[in-house]
Amino acid sequence: MIESRGLRFQYDSGFEALRGVDFRLEAGQSMALLGPNGSGKTTFLLHLNGVLRGEGELKVCGLPVEPRHYVAIRRKVGFLFQDPEDQLFLPSILEDVCFGPLQTGLKQAEAEARAKAVLEQVGIRGGWDRPPYHLSGGEKQRVALAGILAVQPEILVLDEPTTHLDPPARRHLLELLQSLPQAKLVVTHDTAFARALCPRASFFEQGQVLAEGPTDEIVQRFNWAI
């Protein structure tokens, strides 16, 4: 589902954020991406849908990540940003979650039905005409996730999906993600969440994948539990 070889990227500032990333994600696999602040995890994710472009090889669902495939890739990759503020932009929750399905050609009524179903799934029941900026951090995160699930992507790429969530909401998200068949790549500092959701983990450091293996082993080796 994802294959990266020797991926390198430098920000305009000259900072080399990715220094040869080798990474693989198989269909149906759930992988945690662990590693220190500033190690390049978000930068790597932003390459998967072409928001950033580096040098080296990168394929998503078998397609090289280059402009001619962006539309196809963005349909296959459901991307939850680190900051849900970056994701929600329409005047109401329902419109926001309908946006993706409408883009893929669904009729208004079908898009709304699907949006309501995924909003229920993420635990936002009713009040769908509220503006997203009136929501709490955790509610925004759930609505953003609903927007992604609504387009039924092949891979879920989640950048710190639990940061704003209270413990029951984390548990609910865990169960929801466990029930979804898609491949998942989850960047998180929440090791308990990573262990429960992802059998394997990759550890990032200074723009490279330093190690990959069973999540418990990686957590232990890098002393990564709080």
Question: By the criterion CB under 6 A, which residues form the site for ligand ATP?
Answer: 11, 13, 15, 17, 35, 37-43
CB of 59 to Mg ion, least distance (A): 22
- Give least dist CB 45 to ligand ATP, A: 8
| 89 token code pair | 């932009």
- Give CA–CA dist 52/156, Å, rounded: 18
Q: Are 207 and 7 in contact (CB under 8 A)?
A: no
Instruction: Confirm or reject binding of residue 121 to Mg ion (CB under 5 A).
Output: no
Site membership for Mg ion, residue 206 (CB under 5 A): no
Considering beta carbons, is residue 119 or 144 the nearer one to Mg ion? Answer: 144
Residue whose C-beta lies closest to Mg ion: 42
| 3-state SS, residue 210 | strand
Lookup result for tokens 């169960």: 175
Stretch that binds Mg ion, among 6-14, 40-48, 144-152, 203-211 (CB under 5 A): 40-48
Rounded to the nearest 5 degrees, what angle is found at the Cα of 67, between the Cα atoms of 82 and 71?
Answer: 65
Stretch that binds Mg ion, among 14-22, 23-31, 41-49, 109-117 (CB under 5 A): 41-49
For residue 9, the minimal CB distance to Mg ion (Å) is: 14
Q: What angle do CA 67, 106, 139 make, to 5 degrees?
A: 85
Rounded Cα distance between 204 and 34, Å, is: 6
- From 22-30, 39-47, 57-65, 106-114, span contacting Mg ion (CB under 5 A): 39-47
Find the binder of Mg ion among 16, 29, 36, 42 (CB under 5 A): 42
E strands, 61-149, in order? 63-64, 77-80
Please state the closest distance from residue 107 (CB atom) to Mg ion, in A: 37
